[in-house]
Structures are given as structure tokens and as C-alpha cells.
Structure 1
């Protein structure tokens, strides 16, 4: 690795002069010396050791994105939004994966990050317990939640999950479906709990009984979907509509249906939540309540930068990014 001393030796100047030139400090050298040093640095392929520089400053220009490792693909577009927004802002982005609600694992991650004195954290679909939030607050590291949040006191940049559950269910009701399953949703009081409330609200609005037995709990994964349709097909002959908790879950439903000669949408109309690229590569293509994940990632970076600069407060200022229904071929009007 090329060092400042290597450049100083070839330029016949002191290492401190090289350091000042490459740090763009003024009034310590003449323009000719600066041009010579920069030319030699480029020729030798010098790259600044940002880690060493940050250790001197006692602070890293790093934003850490802590992402849920749940088996869905929703985070791909969030990451693209983060990367797009982060370009050119002078911060490096580091990614870490964890379970959504593993308190001990979260504590270990936070203690590691605090010891490295990073600039800020984006939690993507990760829920922190109160004890870990207290730990983070004490370290005075700015942070924002993206997609879901732990309580009503913290900022989240995401979608209105109750509205998502409501819109998906209402769409199937308007197609004539009355016995509707909600598949693969989790039982935690965050996104899953809100989507269940939206599902129940839509049923109640149309005078349809909300029966707990039509909710198949899971973890948003492919396996949750395949298990859900097996459960519905074996137990409820009158069920004709399914709201899938994620696109991965919906893909599990479709593949199980294909393997067992269950016709979609003739036997079951399926609407999925997320609207990722999976919706267009399945057969049939999936009708979806589509979330703008890329915008969530972009807004997350913008708000975190403002928070780090002391220009915004995270208390009770959640931002809900609008959703839309994209109609494809996995849903149809009920004819029986």
C-alpha cells in the first residue's frame, strides 16, 4: 500500500507537507509543490486510509443499515434507494443483517456499533426493545426506523400497514369474495398486527364476519405461503380469496397450487402485499398492494442526515409513503 511517506520521498518534501496537500489545507505550501505532490500521488495510486483518519478524529463517517434477515425480498429496493441517496454525501454505507426481534442479538450489534462511534443508523424492518433503545439513546447515535417501528414515539418511514391490509381485503371483496384468508402474517404487534386490523376493518365495513381461523400466521416467507394454501385447501372449501403477507409468501402459494393442480385465479384469487419484481415473474402474475420501497430508503437517508445535523426531531413524525394496487392476473371476479 502506498503511504504518505512514499509520496514525500519521491516529491522530496516532508510527510507533513504531503498530508496538508492531500487534506486540501491552504497557506502551508506553494501551488507548484501542491501540483507536484498530487501528480505523484496519482501516479503511485495513493488512496487515503479513511479508517486511520477516522480513528484520529474519534468518529467514523459511516451510516450503518441494520436489516431484518426475514426471508423476503422487500429490502432490495430499500437498499437501492439508500445507495442512490447516499452517493456523494461523504458517508460510507455499511450493512448488517439480523433477526427482526432478537433482543440479545440486537444488543450485541448495538454495543459493537457504539464502540466504533459511527455517525448514524437506519433500522430496516428491525424492532428494538425498550432496553436497547435506551442503550442507543445513551450513546447519542442518531437513528431512524424504516418500514416498521417499535412504538408510537419514534419516527418510521414506511407504509400505513393497517391501510395496506384494508385495501387488499377490500379489493377482493369488491370482486365478490366473502371468505378471505390472510396468509403468512406474523403475530407481533407491529406490521402484522396492523395488517390484521386493516383486514378486519374491511370485512366489518362490508358486514362480513372476521373469523380468526382464516388467519394463517407465519413469517412472511415462501414456506409460510405454501403451508397456508395447504391449510386453506384442506379445511375450507368455501374460501375463495387470499391476501398474502408478502410476495415471497404469495410465490409459495402459487407454486403449491401448481404442484397440486389448484387453479389460480379460478379457485383462489390472490392479492399480495409488497409489489416487488416477483409479481411480474410468477405465473400467473401477482396482483399486489405495491409499496414504494425505494422511496423509503431514499427518505430514510435524507431524514437521518438532517437528524445528524440537528435539523429534525424523530418524535411522532412518521412518514407514510403512499401505496397503490397493481392489478395483474392472479385475481378474478368470483363467479360461483
Structure 2
């Protein structure tokens, strides 16, 4: 199957559109929520489950089936039933990627009942877009293709998500969250829900201290602080953090640390290259707004710090450091590591960086 052309920003835009329509009770006869990122699939599925029918109607007119325990013919028969009370019945198929004969659903989705709302939650992968099932749902209802964000996209989404909850988040707290939780939006949203519940009443600004207290990530010993120490050439502080990581390897995976460092030096390299173009080729150095777009950043304060620290590094050395990080990325995966522990590899890597 051809690779999907849908990007994370497309998923977010379509999710917000559908969420708005459902909240306004503008329903379609069939919905297909599909793809690798479970958060958007579960969120829209849960919204339909709680919005279409009231609590009393759900008892008689809302049916949830699981793909592994059913087959397409049974789902079609359910969808063709009349609601016992009210205007609609809702049929929700969870884990639809396991549904036997799922393609046969096209016999129903090509001409869905006006009194049934069918919700298909198809995780882990997408339905073949060349299939009659996909085409019929696209024609009669709505499709959300839920793709996972890239590492540089998660911070922007997370900032907006927190803003939707009436809060803001400091840049350090944001970095601590993304470094620790990666790009798993479902996991991030669960942790954030717990954090927001635990915040003191009236708190609208999330800080590194809140992250430490509620999620258990140290505000002093984390990848944000390590990267800051390295790019400002504070070897003593960087090695102190590395020692902490070595004592707590499960909480501080070497691969995540290397990715964080690689991201920092990659951006330093790009800024320094733009400076070189400006000095030697007469190309205007980008204004901050344009530069944030180039670097895919959304925090002016973080951009200011990055511009300051990049001036401390010569790009020939940065190029060598990026090579070192690629080498130690392989070692973190067990290639030519010589049996060294993650803590030993990190310390060795940092010493080589500071010797550049």
C-alpha cells in the first residue's frame, strides 16, 4: 500500500473539525477513524458515544462490539435494526482492524440507514484507500486518518492542548515532558490529565516543579538541563547530570538523551550555516518569525537562547559532534559498544564532545 500523504497537522485539523461538528450535534451516518495514533481515534469515538444519545437512550440504542469477537455480517445486521426509542441507534466497532471480513461492510456503508450512526475505530493501520469500504465511507460519512507526530511537531501540539485546558507551560517543563514521554499523544494526554487534576486551585502556569512533583521527572537532572550544560560548555554540570543518569538508567534511556543532544546540535548547525550565508554570500539572516518557521520552533525565548549558544560553536566542530552522536546512537543500540553500560557510553560521549 502506498505511504499516506496525510501529515500530523492534517490529522489535527480534521479532528478539530469533526469534534466541532459532533459537539454541535451535526451527525453523519458513518464514521471511520483509522491510523497509528490512538488518541484521536479514541477521543472522537468517546465523544460520539457520549453525545448522540442521552443516558436513558444508550441502554437500548447504543451497541459496542469488538472486532476480534465479531464479523462484518453481524455488524451489518445490527446497523439495519430500527432504534427502540429516539431518533438514532449508535453502533460502535472497536478494534475494527481485527473484524473478520471487514471489506463486506461496504455492502452497508454504500447505503447506510438514516437512523443508525456507525462508528468504526480502526487502530494500528489504515483501511486501504483503494477499497470500496473506504470510498463508500468517504462519500457517505467522514474519515479521520490519525497519524503520529514527528518529534518536532509534538511541542506545538502540546502547547495548544494545554492552552485548551486554560493553562500555559514553561519551555523547560515542556521539554521535560516531551523528552520523557516522547510522541505518544495518548500517554501524554493521560499524564497531563493527572497533572492538571493535581495542580493547586487557580494555577494556570505549569512549571518544571509541577512536572517533578506530579509526573516524577527531576527538574534538575533531565535532558533539558543536560543539553543546556553541553551547549553552554559547562562540562562539570553535564558530567554531574550524566552520573545521575547512570544511577537511574530506566528513567533516562541513553537513546533519548542522544536524540535530544542531536536535536540541539542540528539546530546550532543550521543557525550557524545561515549566519555563514549572511556573512559570505550576502543572504539576509532570517528575522525571528521566519527563523522559527525554518527551525520548526514556537517559543521566541527558546529561540533567543539557541541563537546565543550557537555563537559559542564553530560549525566544523558541530559537524564532528553530529558524527559522534550518530556513532553513539548505534552504540546505544548495541552495535560496537564493547559491552559498556549506557552510563559509561554517555560519559565517554560527553568527554569527546568537550574535547572538540
Normalising by structure 2, we get a TM-score of 0.26
Whose relative contact order is higher, 1 or 2, with alpha carbons under 8 Å and at least 6 apart?
Answer: 1
Q: Which has the higher helix share?
A: 2
Normalising by structure 1, we get a TM-score of 0.27
Q: Which has the higher strand share?
A: 1
